[in-house]
Amino acid sequence: MEIESNFPRLLIISHNTFSRTLNNGKTYSSIFQGWPSDKIAQLFFQNEIPDFTICNNFYHITDEEMIKGSKHKIGKKIEETKTCSITKTVSPIHSYVRKKPKPIFNFLRNVAWSTGKWNNDKLNSWLDSFKPEAIFFVGGSNSFSYNITSFIANKFDIPVFLYYTDDYITEIKTIDPFWWINYFWLKNVLNKLLEKVKTIFVIGEDMANEFSRKLDKKCIPIMNAVKIEEYLESRIKREVPQKVIELAYFGGLHLNRWKTLLMIGDVIREINDQKETKLNLNIYSGKIVEETLLKKFEIHSSILFKGSVTEKEIIDEMQKYDVLVHVESFDKEMIDKTRLSISTKIPEYLASGRVILGVGPQRLSSIKYLEKLGFTFIINKCDRKIIKQKLIELINEKNNFDDIGSRGIEIARTNHSIENNINIVRQIISKYSKK
């Protein structure tokens, strides 16, 4: 049992809160499992209701408050109630911006927060009562959260540990003036914060190598992790599929991933007209799906949209399928956004013991990681002939599905153990924290 004195009082600052179902929140929860609950607190900004399993001390500030509220009313401490089984609340601003993601909205958001109305007696009283000894800051694309982190780090003279799951610091080719304003604004606040940053944690090796050069700071990869035992307990050995191979995709449809899924569905329909062994593509997504996209799925003969599943259901649901599908977009703009990220679903797929089909551009870290394993099926070209060829190859390997899936479980043990991540993060934070 870890001695409690080895754990500093840690403040998590992030847009998303701890969660058992939402991807980012699940990642934070896996990293800080076992941290004494009285030594961890979270300040967050998204319209979500937290999971109190890891932490019971939350402070919440929203965009709506920053736009409409007076300074003394902004922010509140979140108490655990019976409603906390709900993962998300309705945020009109956030919902609209997600549907129409444009740099001008990020700019206006930063302007609203730059008024500094968040810095009031309520927030400072909450901070003073907790007295953080270190900050774990999940960096994003909005400069205001860096300013808040810098303010708190300076207030208590404590170190910051920065965590990136996506690439927000690389220039892209665009003529949108608001994108460049946001970029230089972010670059400026990040450079100021780096004076307090001791270590940067990132999602994978590619990001670690690139960010170490750009930021001149040590970057440590901590890949997404899972509880292997939960998957082993639910694992069901499937029979060799004879007439139908069932494929399933679990995840978001944003970043134009839906385009890739529809393309796969079109090729599957063509194969099903020619081959004795058929393929079905089942899609699960927890996000609200626009009606126009839902209709495209519903009229497609090879695609079944299954809606969402809860945290408790998803492990068992994965066991119902022969092949689990991970997709990324082939659109250039989306490639720039996702090239260094590694999906949170990949460790879950590996731990499930199912065959994995990865579809996306070769330069993306998620696809490179899956391809490097050597036993997954990879489609890295946006070419219908190549997609068809690879899916036929998948059909021809159906007798080996169980052996292939077992190899994934071993990789999950080696690369995606929750215990490994917990130990790495705790040891580094404890080493540098002010106590």
Q: Which pLDDT tens digit goes with each residue over 230-240?
A: 899 999 889 99
Same domain, 322 and 186: no
| Start-to-end CA span in the chain (Å) | 21
* pLDDT of the residue at 83: 47
Number of domains in the chain: 2
CATH classification at residue 123: 3.40.50.2000
Kindly report the pTM of this predicted structure: 0.85
Question: 378 by DSSP, 3-state: which?
Answer: strand
* pLDDT of the residue at 1: 41
Same domain, 265 and 392: yes
Same domain, 333 and 273: yes
Mean pLDDT of 239-264: 93
Confidence of residue 85 (pLDDT cuts 50, 70, 90): very low
Same domain, 29 and 149: yes
Same domain, 427 and 411: no
Same domain, 146 and 205: yes
Q: Who has greater pLDDT, 421 or 4? A: 421
Mean pLDDT of 260-280: 94
Of 163, 121, 110, 136, residue with least CA distance to 43 = 136
Burial code (b: 16+ CB inside 10 Å, e: under 16) for 21-60 equals bbbbbbbbbbbbeebeeebbbbbbbbbbbbbbebbebbbb
Of 364, 363, 393, 399, residue with least CA distance to 377 = 393
Strands, DSSP E only, in 118-267? 134-138, 160-164, 197-202, 219-221, 244-250
Confidence of residue 5 (pLDDT cuts 50, 70, 90): low
| CB-based contacts of 18, cutoff 8 Å, min separation 6 | 12, 25, 28, 29, 32, 42, 50, 51, 52, 53, 54, 55
DSSP state of 24: H
Same domain, 217 and 296: no
Q: Which pLDDT tens digit goes with each residue over 143-185?
A: 999 999 999 999 999 999 999 988 999 988 889 999 999 999 9
Same domain, 240 and 219: no
* pLDDT of the residue at 82: 47
* pLDDT of the residue at 87: 47
Same domain, 131 and 24: yes
Mean pLDDT of 414-419: 88
Same domain, 275 and 367: yes
DSSP conformation letters of 43-101: EE-SSBPPPTTT---EEE--HHHHHHS-GGG--EEEPP-GGGG--B---HHHHHHHHS-
Q: Which pLDDT tens digit goes with each residue over 351-367?
A: 999 999 999 999 999 99
Mean pLDDT of 179-197: 96
* Residue numbers of the domain that contains 376: 228-415
Same domain, 192 and 323: no
What are the C-alpha distances in Å from 105 to residues 172, 182, 300, 325, 335?
Answer: 18, 10, 35, 33, 21
Average confidence score pLDDT of the chain: 90
Q: What is the dihedral of CA 384, 369, 341, 359, to 10 degrees?
A: 10
* pLDDT of the residue at 332: 87
Mean pLDDT of 9-19: 93
Same domain, 421 and 327: no
